[in-house]
Structure 1
Amino acid sequence: MRSIYAAGLIALLMAPCAQAQTISRSTLGNGLTVLAWQSDHAQVAGIAAVVGASGAHESNATRGSRALLQQMLSIASHDAVVEKLSPISGVVGPAGSAGLGVNTNFDFVEAAYAVSVEELDEGLALFADQLFEVELTEEDLDQSRDLTVRSFEAAQESPVQVTFDLFRAALYGDSAMAQPQQGDPESLEAITLADLQSFRDTYYVPSNTWLCIVSPLRVEEASAAVSRAFGGVASRPAPPAAPEPVLPSESLVEVGDSPALVQASLVIGVPLPSCNDPIFPAAEVLTQLLEGPGGRLHRDLHLLTALGLALPTRLLDEHYPINVLSVQPARDPFLAVHTLAAPRAIEAARAGVLRHIFALRTGAATEDELARAKARVINAHRLSTQRPSDTALYLARRSFFGLAGADEAIAAVEAVTSEDLNAVAKQYFGRHAVGIQMPSTQAGGQL
């Protein structure tokens, strides 16, 4: 355990600090929130926007509108970047594709890319046009719908993804958070171009958007460039807040089956406090007590044996059957553990994982455990700020939730005590949720 902890510290010490200078924050006349940060390490400008369009804003009839709009944004921006900017600009992701990199979370949608400093004005103008003003066409809708349906169908072919969907249904009940974020083929087919235009006009507005730019320029220069590009976007009223979800009050289990499975697949978890709650840093640390080669779940050889899996050591090293899922930025996040088990061992797997989770309500963390868990959380914050576009996304997300930058996040993690971990677990672990996928031949007789 000490060698793993030491490796974590080495990675932490090598990672540069993303918040060595002050983050500038301002609001344009149309309501756009602008963050700017000067990075001495940046060679390009990273630009990111978070739009407060929530899955709760979609009705059952328009489920998937955000996914379609994001897909259209990705496609249209790719063509625009290739046409208007040099090859060094608009590059996103490790594959180096051009255009805006987009993502759809439950609470928000986001887009990001990088541009050369010499083309900053052109890059920002393109971003503003693509995000708020580009014309939506039937051709774009058809192409985006086809890609989104294919994405949905691919996800349904993944037993692990379906297990995760079952877990979300158990955790979130009848709320919108339990629904697929990209919609389903039926809802996607029913959405019209007029529906999408109305949704974008309501929710993709400056007053509902947080934009961040990270560049080698002084923050005054960067903010002025944003103002030139986005200041002319028409002001529209901020949309209504997303309705508060009504979540289950009791523990629930959702079960499915799949012919693609040989072993059972389980996701077991509990709610966590909102990421803008002052006690959320303790929840981050608490999760890392369980995760990784030095975490409690990996050290429990009795639990590993109880799974009923005959796995050679080589496979265990590469594909350990118990993994803690990453905690996502959300208003209603969760701690979740995915595990494989022999069909006959699903109850032993469920009970074994929950035993570790519930032990966090009263059991104290050792000094080594607490230090290791904090180092892993701090590393995660550092790794989120390695590239300009990553840093811009990180800061825009945190601003959306009313949070400050990485320095403040890390200071909050460093202040967490073992008693704080117990307090979070006692308050939030009163109910749990389980999603189970069984091999089809076993589903009827095991549950």
Structure 2
Amino acid sequence: MTVSTTLHTLENGVRVVHDPMPGLETIALSVVAGRGAAYEDPARSGWSHLLEHMVFKGAGQRSSRDIVEVIEAQGGQINAATGYERTSFQVRALKGGLDLGMAVLSDLVLRPTLDEGDLTREKQVVAQEIAEAADAPDDYVFDLVQAAAWGDHPLARPILGTVDSVNSATVEGLSHWRGQLYAADRLIVSCSGAVALDEVLDLARREFGSMPAASGALASDPASFVGGRRSQARKLEQAHLVFMLPAVSAREDDYFALRIFAEALGGGMSSRLFQEAREKRGLAYNIDAYADTYADAGALGVYAGCAAGDAAETAKVCAEQIVGLAARIDDAELARAKAQLKAHMFMAREQPLSRAEQAAGQALMFNRLYTPAELAEAVDAVSVDDLQRLGRAILGPAKAASAILGAKPALKAGEVFGTALG
């Protein structure tokens, strides 16, 4: 019997994904709000992430301990994540755990306690999280490159915010912010695994069917890639380099061309960067490329970790490989990159939580779901000409963003990268 993933819309606008996976003994539930840090102004930077923390301090009739214990008592796991364009609340559980999971997550989204004392303590926790990120150079360098790439847009600010912006939050302010972030017209309830359609829809209506619309308009200005350089000298054993170039958004026709370009450039051990920078020259242990896409903007990125003395040469190699790939890719390399991309996408589909999150993302971005066959067809349709056109577009504006973190000899790498692009 053929089973399919389906998208349904409740009367109040909440969208529900039913994604059965026959043979599984577990379920995955993601309740995803289609808003995040990209919708914050500077004064509220980090509030979406802080709110995600705060709802776990107590919701409905459950304390913070009750929330986790009631899920774990049935063999489940509960988690959450805040991004620039979405906030996700997730439960993994044994078959039959959907009822409880839906009830707990609806409490988190709709009925958080938001206690003043909890907020004071959680501000301290988030301050330590901000400090931890700053102490992790391979994380912090990505905050630096975001700041360089996106100018005054919220994408330029870290999702965690700053200590000052987080400390400015009040219970009243967070309550109002919750009403704007978690609203019916931007909420997806996505269920994968051992789930039955009737149960999914009945529970979604019970828990989210009376959810109100947003308490106010909440929009994000279009992002514009401005480029620039950020560097910080630190006494580190390794220099951390990130380079970014403007690309296409998740909604543009060349989205899959960008994913394939990143795959061929630095997606695996056969990629150009790995072979040239690591295998041939021994410049870096970790080096990879990635596509960073949002609803209305996107970028091609490269990360490398290397000795400070090798940073300039590594930057030059990165630029040369981007330029070379933009100029030419043969059929065998293109086929290999397509195969790797499809493998990444379809292997993720073997995990219920990944499927639930992927479906929620599609519903938020396109208000529809894509079958594996449609995704494969889109990947296979990308041609050599498509990659060359994309490459010209990426290099055309001559806008590069770079972030360098490490000993002083490494700091010139950003300038070297820009020069080597031509």
Contact kept, 8 Å, 1:203 with 1:238, in 2: the verdict is: no
Q: Are residues 362 and 86 of structure 1, via their aligned partners in 2, closer, same or farther at CA, if it must alter by over 3 Å? A: closer
Distance in 1 between residues matched to 2:72 and 2:320, nearest whole Å: 55
Distance in 2 between residues matched to 1:362 and 1:445, nearest whole Å: 23
Distance in 1 between residues matched to 2:290 and 2:106, nearest whole Å: 34
Structure 2 counterpart of 1:134: 112
Contact kept, 8 Å, 1:207 with 1:238, in 2: the verdict is: no
Structure 2 counterpart of 1:241: 219
Structure 1 counterpart of 2:418: none
Distance in 2 between residues matched to 1:142 and 1:383, nearest whole Å: 42
Structure 2 counterpart of 1:67: 49
Structure 2 counterpart of 1:423: 389
Q: Using CA pairs under 8 Å that are at least 6 residues apart, name the structure with larger relative contact order, 1 or 2.
A: 1
Distance in 2 between residues matched to 1:112 and 1:446, nearest whole Å: 39
Distance in 1 between residues matched to 2:43 and 2:216, nearest whole Å: 23
Which letter does structure 2 place at the counterpart of 1:269?
M
TM-score by length of 1: 0.83
Distance in 2 between residues matched to 1:118 and 1:239, nearest whole Å: 38
Distance in 1 between residues matched to 2:24 and 2:352, nearest whole Å: 6
Contact kept, 8 Å, 1:106 with 1:330, in 2: the verdict is: no
* Between 381-390 and 290-299, the greater mean CA deviation after superposition: 381-390
Per-residue CA deviations over 1:286-318 (Å, capped at 9, x if unaligned) read 1110221111112216996384x7xxxxxxxxx
Which letter does structure 2 place at the counterpart of 1:359?
G
Distance in 1 between residues matched to 2:241 and 2:81, nearest whole Å: 26
Contact kept, 8 Å, 1:265 with 1:341, in 2: the verdict is: yes
Q: 1:370-381 counterparts in 2 under 5 A?
A: 370-381=334-345
Contact kept, 8 Å, 1:210 with 1:400, in 2: the verdict is: yes
Contact kept, 8 Å, 2:238 with 2:305, in 1: the verdict is: yes
Which SS does the other structure have where 1:360 is aligned?
A: helix
Structure 2 counterpart of 1:9: none
Per-residue CA deviations over 1:194-250 (Å, capped at 9, x if unaligned) read 1111100122112121221113333233222211222133344573332212431xx
Residue 156 of structure 2 is aligned to residue 178 of structure 1: yes
Which letter does structure 1 place at the counterpart of 2:22?
D
Per-residue CA deviations over 1:44-100 (Å, capped at 9, x if unaligned) read 221112212232321211111011111123454763444544623531xxxxxxx3x
Contact kept, 8 Å, 2:91 with 2:101, in 1: the verdict is: no
Distance in 2 between residues matched to 1:86 and 1:191, nearest whole Å: 31
Contact kept, 8 Å, 1:171 with 1:252, in 2: the verdict is: yes
| Count of equivalent residues | 405
Distance in 1 between residues matched to 2:413 and 2:339, nearest whole Å: 44
Distance in 1 between residues matched to 2:411 and 2:393, nearest whole Å: 34
Distance in 2 between residues matched to 1:446 and 1:209, nearest whole Å: 40
Residue 328 of structure 2 is aligned to residue 384 of structure 1: no
Structure 2 counterpart of 1:168: 146
Q: 1:28-427 counterparts in 2 under 5 A?
A: 28-76=10-58, 79-85=65-71, 87-91=73-77, 99=78, 101-236=79-214, 239-248=217-226, 251-259=227-235, 261-291=236-266, 292-300=268-276, 305=281, 307=283, 320-325=285-290, 327=292, 331-363=296-328, 365-402=329-366, 404-407=369-372, 408-427=374-393
Q: Are residues 442 and 337 of structure 1, via their aligned partners in 2, closer, same or farther at CA, if it must alter by over 3 Å? A: closer
Distance in 1 between residues matched to 2:101 and 2:281, nearest whole Å: 55
Q: Are residues 440 and 194 of structure 1, via their aligned partners in 2, closer, same or farther at CA, if it must alter by over 3 Å? A: farther
Which SS does the other structure have where 2:88 is aligned?
A: strand
Deviation at 1:144, TM superposition (A): 2.5
* Between 226-235 and 151-160, the greater mean CA deviation after superposition: 226-235
Deviation at 1:328, TM superposition (A): 5.8
TM-score by length of 2: 0.87
Contact kept, 8 Å, 1:102 with 1:112, in 2: the verdict is: yes
Which letter does structure 1 place at the counterpart of 2:258?
A
Which letter does structure 2 place at the counterpart of 1:381?
M
Distance in 1 between residues matched to 2:314 and 2:242, nearest whole Å: 10
Per-residue CA deviations over 1:295-352 (Å, capped at 9, x if unaligned) read 1112216996384x7xxxxxxxxxx242224646664332211223443443332222
Distance in 1 between residues matched to 2:411 and 2:402, nearest whole Å: 15
Which letter does structure 2 place at the counterpart of 1:166?
L
Distance in 2 between residues matched to 1:323 and 1:185, nearest whole Å: 31
Distance in 2 between residues matched to 1:51 and 1:233, nearest whole Å: 13
Q: Are residues 215 and 345 of structure 1, via their aligned partners in 2, closer, same or farther at CA, if it must alter by over 3 Å? A: closer
Which SS does the other structure have where 2:281 is aligned?
A: helix
Q: Are residues 80 and 181 of structure 1, via their aligned partners in 2, closer, same or farther at CA, if it must alter by over 3 Å? A: same
Work out the percentage of aligned pairs sharing the same amino acid: 22
Which SS does the other structure have where 1:401 is aligned?
A: helix
